[in-house]
Amino acid sequence: MYLELPKKLQALVDQGHAVANEVFRPISRKYDLAEHQYPKELDMLAAVLDGMNAGDAESGAGAGALEQKKKKERREGVRNGGNMATVLGLLELCWGDVGLALTIPRQGLGNAALSAVANEEQLKRFAGKWAAMAITEPGAGSDSAAIRTTAVRDGDHYVLNGEKIFVTAGERADCVVVWASLDPSQGRAAIKSFVVEHGTEGMRVERLEHKLGIKASDTATLVFSDCRVPKENLLGSPEIDTQKGFGGVMQTFDNTRPVVAAMGVGVARAALERARELLRAEGYRADYDRAVFNTSAVEAELYRMEADLEAARLLTIKAAFMADNGTPNSMEASMAKAKAGRTANSVTLRCAEICSTLGYDEGELLEKWARDSKILDIFEGTQQIQQLIVARRLLGLSSTQLR
């Protein structure tokens, strides 16, 4: 078992860290205070990522590299492909700023869905598009199967009606991958995803949300009123399969949850490193030769946070590795998301507390990181939902048997 970083991905990690340090951090506070203002500085970065992905899509840096294994022949031996590259890249970028990482053009959750389930024609047609993902509704949050947005076939189109809330990049993206039901009476199996481009008649941005953190990223409410979408924009099969229909849609999360976990690891590492620097300036020195019970309370707390962070990092790496190698990773993806989300919340908040007034003041980014980290334990499935998924997998129970 090798835990060293693959050499072919080291350059990507170095580039991600450089972007985080030289681009993200200098403008981090600016866009935290200027909520809903688009960070123009990201346009050049998006172009660079596009070039990296075009040069080697399998080990590219963005969301478009996810799930490449489904579109290529299986190879002998282990692989570190698009999932690992995306996880490692986002970890570094979120060491810089979570909100800015979430609003890089063409790197949204919708792009991950396109890469995962779009056919060859759709991949070509939507190439270069920035895609958001619209799942959550006023009455359907963690339980995605409770979706009530409908899609009714009408000739060569589907007519969508419903409301979606908390859509990341919902206003800025070029298009939105919308989850809707072909027939609510058929339950989960009837839920499909559709690509709806901005400008389509019947789709409108109702409002932008004001948030606790990730303020550089826009979060929108979208309304669909008799919105006509070409039938060719349906992702996957139009048939309702009661055996596996919804499961296929949900598999997108097996790849994107490790990505969110990596974001949590990145911001937690940033907070822990900065707390260490500030404490070192006050005379605190790490002494790993001494037992925890023989150190100061602050040092003992830092050691515990380091252990939690390393556990979250390794779970995240494992989940991404399994995805790259075609191994079912639903349980591991949820484990990584649950552990990293909880760790990011606890580490960033505790670091702000330990650093006292410095951690609470806008002169430092510690208080911002504590606010930004909260979303990482909520979106892509809350902490409680991840624990429920893990329990189902461990006990061999279905969603109807364990709710």
Give the number of other CB atoms < 10 A from CB of residue 252: 25
CATH code of 247-395, in short, is 1.20.140.10
Q: How far apart are CA 11 and CA 13, in angstroms?
A: 5
Phi, psi of 66 (to 5 degrees): -65, 145
Banded pLDDT at 68 (limits 50, 70, 90): very low
Residues present in the chain in total:
403
Which residues are known catalytic residues?
380
CATH code 2.40.110.10 region(s) in the chain? 131-240
Fold of 7-125: Butyryl-Coa Dehydrogenase, subunit A; domain 1 (1.10.540)
Read off the pLDDT band of 44 (50, 70, 90). Answer: confident
Closest of 109, 94, 74, 80 to residue 10, by C-alpha: 80
**For residue 241, what pLDDT band results from cuts at 50, 70 and 90?**
confident
Location of each CATH 1.10.540.10 domain in the chain: 7-125
Strand 191-197 to 219-230 pairing: unpaired
* pLDDT for 71 beyond 50: no
Select the CATH number that applies to the domain covering 131-240 from these four: 3.10.180.10, 2.40.110.10, 2.40.160.20, 3.60.70.12: 2.40.110.10
User: How would residue 205 be classed by pLDDT, with cut points 50, 70 and 90?
Assistant: very high
Predicted confidence band of residue 75 (pLDDT cuts 50, 70, 90): low
Q: pLDDT digit string (tens) for 105-124?
A: 988 888 888 887 889 999 99
- 336 within 8 A of 318, measured Cβ to Cβ: yes
- pLDDT, position 108: 80
Give CATH 1.20.140.10 domain extents, the chain: 247-395
Residue 374 tokens read as 């909260």
pLDDT on residue 69: 47
- The 10s digit of each residue's pLDDT in 126-164 is 999 999 999 999 998 877 778 999 999 999 999 999 999
| Mean pLDDT across 160-181 | 97
Which of 167, 327, 357, 336 has its CA nearest to residue 260? 336
pLDDT of residue 249 exceeding 70, the answer is no
Q: Report the mean per-residue pLDDT for the chain.
A: 90
